Structure 1
Amino acid sequence: MTDSPGAISVEDKTAVVIGGTSGIGFEIARAFARNGADVVATSRSEDSVADAAAELRDLGAETTEVTCNVRDLESLENLKDAVVDELGGVDVLVNSAGSVAAAPVTEMTEDEWDQDIDICLSGVFRAIKVFGDAMDEGSIVNISSMSADQSREARAGYVSAKAGLNGLTRATAADLGPDIRVNAISPGFVKTELAGPKLEDGSEFREGVDERTPMDRVATPNEISGAALYLASDAASFTTGEIITIDGGYNNFSV
């Protein structure tokens, strides 16, 4: 408990961003670094981890280069041990690893289903299990999706995993409180390299999204990172078990 609201600051904190070498995760990692945190951005690719670490160092952050596969508990344990040994501990964990199998449910293979569930849901469970046990206090931020609350064609695994992730967020907030806060960010349509051509300017799908969105556009990754900064900071000292939607008003508007 604090006597007065804290600032939205992550200065001198150590953050681990899983799935942090591209898209929303990488922008969150950079935002943390720009605001004074030490940051470890990790994924399965050694080259991507090295490139991300170089940029984070240029922004003034202390970091270390460790790959991580959220489908492998030992990989997560190794990541945690490396961060604790080299940076002294963990204050913030961001879970941003993702997988999207684009297939109707009758055509989706069990391997595609298993991958979506294992990376987007079970992988977050593993990460929270490993890092929650290593954190005395701090903040865990899960990257969910507005798809958790929608009917989406050809996305059964992804939608199911993100709906489960929202439940996992609330349940682990109860387990880890009061010292560790657990929240989720639920982005709407965000223009990243993973979004593909559907969100390119002028596409039929993009025009439909813009028409329904009061902000009349899709988001950029840096517009998601501000919420992560807030949730990781002392300003969010009484915020836990929450799902913060950032969709430009898309879910609240119909045409």
Structure 2
Amino acid sequence: MAHQSECTVSVADKSAVVIGGSTGIGRAIARSFAEEGADVIATSRSEENVEDATEELRSLGATTTAVTCDVRDDDSIENLWEVAEETLGGVDVLVNSAGSVARAPVTEMTDEQWAQDIDVCLTGVFRACRAFGQGMNEGGSIVNISSMSAGQARENRGAYCAAKSGVNGLTRAAAADLAPEIRVNAIAPGFVKTEMAGGAFDEGTETREAIDERTPMERVATPDEIAGAAVYLASDAASFTTGEIITIDGAYDDSAF
């Protein structure tokens, strides 16, 4: 696999797998990779969403295939690895962007809600890092999608905050375990306007006004703005960057809690 010079922010000629890549931030990352000349498989549990994302990636010139994956299932992740190896001829980049958000105070959260968020947002990242970390191309990059919530007090998000805090710890540990062959970093987005957010972040809503007031950038992010960081971390320009958590939140101020 040809690589760019170390000072070039480019993923051209790289092969990438984006788990949780059929919607939201993951979809933007997969699209950005393809636009930059990478071959990309974007996967999730939804066959319909995967087919749609795959069609878009193919239209951008990427070598790809439609394959679903459930990060709660080791066999599903192993199948994804095998399909990626066969389709792409090796994997240079893995992005873990699958997500789940249970909304309930800790006193009312059920075991099922807790388990869902931990299994998808944290254990799923571990499973993927374990499976792909054993066979990725040397010089590869793993990019985990964390959240600014990993370090903040957030109401009704106990499982999600715990899971994302775990992702940060796992990222640092995996960076040590997989060095020097593979780099492992995380991106911690702030508020991003995605399908998961629904209309809560639309301009004029009470939630959006509160966010803008506490954000020096006076707005929420777009998925493409998170994708830019993923392109950097996946590129050879980040060849000495590992074990880092990059927060992209417009300098949001959570001190008012």
Confirm or deny: 8 A CA contact 1:214 1:253 kept in the other structure. Answer: no
TM-score (norm 1): 0.96
Match among 188, 193, 212 for residue 190 of structure 2: 188
Stretches of structure 2 that go unaligned for 5 or more consecutive residues are none
For residue 140 of structure 1, the aligned residue among 139, 142, 163 is: 142
Paired position in structure 1 for 2:130: 129
In structure 1, how many angstroms separate the alpha carbons of the residues matched to 2:227 and 2:242? 18
> In the alignment, is the contact (CA less than 8 A) between 2:90 and 2:137 conserved in 1?
no
Q: What per-residue deviation string (whole Å, max 9, x for no partner) do you get for residues 175-210 of structure 1?
A: 000110000000000000101232121111110100
8 A contact 1:15–1:39 mirrored in 2: yes
Tell me the CA shift for residue 252 of structure 1.
Answer: 7.6
The whole-number CA distance in structure 2 between the counterparts of 1:154 and 1:197 is 19
For 1:77 and 1:43, how far apart are their aligned partners in 2?
14
CA–CA distance in structure 2, aligned partners of residues 183 and 234 of structure 1: 13
Separation of aligned partners in 2, 1:253 and 1:217:
18
Deviation of 1:107 (Å)? 0.9
State how 1:107-122 maps to structure 2 within 5 Å.
Answer: 107-122=108-123
Q: Is the 8 A contact 1:213 1:253 kept in 2?
A: no
Contact 1:231 1:239 in 2 (8 A): yes
Q: Which residue of 1 aligns with 2:167?
A: 165
**Aligned-partner SS, 1:80:** helix
Change (3 A) 1:200 1:106: same
- Count of aligned pairs between the two proteins: 253
Q: Secondary structure at the match of 2:195?
A: coil
- Match in the other structure for 1:69: 70
Residue of structure 2 in register with 1:153 after alignment: 155
Which stretches of structure 1, 4 residues or longer, exceed 3 Å deviation after superposition? Answer: 251-255
Say which is worse superposed, 191-200 or 49-58, in terms of deviation.
Answer: 191-200
Identity %: 68
Q: In 1, Cα distance between the equivalents of 2:211 and 2:36?
A: 32
SS in 2 for 1:148: helix
Report the RMSD for the aligned CA atoms in angstroms. Answer: 1.5
Q: Report how far residue 5 of structure 1 moved.
A: 3.6
- The within-5 A match list for 1:38-77 is 38-77=39-78
**Cα distance in structure 2, aligned partners of 1:113 and 1:254:** 27
Match of residue 208, structure 2, among 202, 206, 209: 206
Q: In structure 2, do the counterparts of structure 1 residues 102 and 253 end up closer, same or farther at CA, with 3 Å as the change threshold?
A: closer
Shift of 1:34: 0.1
Measure how far apart 1:254 and its partner are: 6.2
TM-score by length of 2: 0.96
Partner of 2:35: 34
Contact 1:212 1:253 in 2 (8 A): no
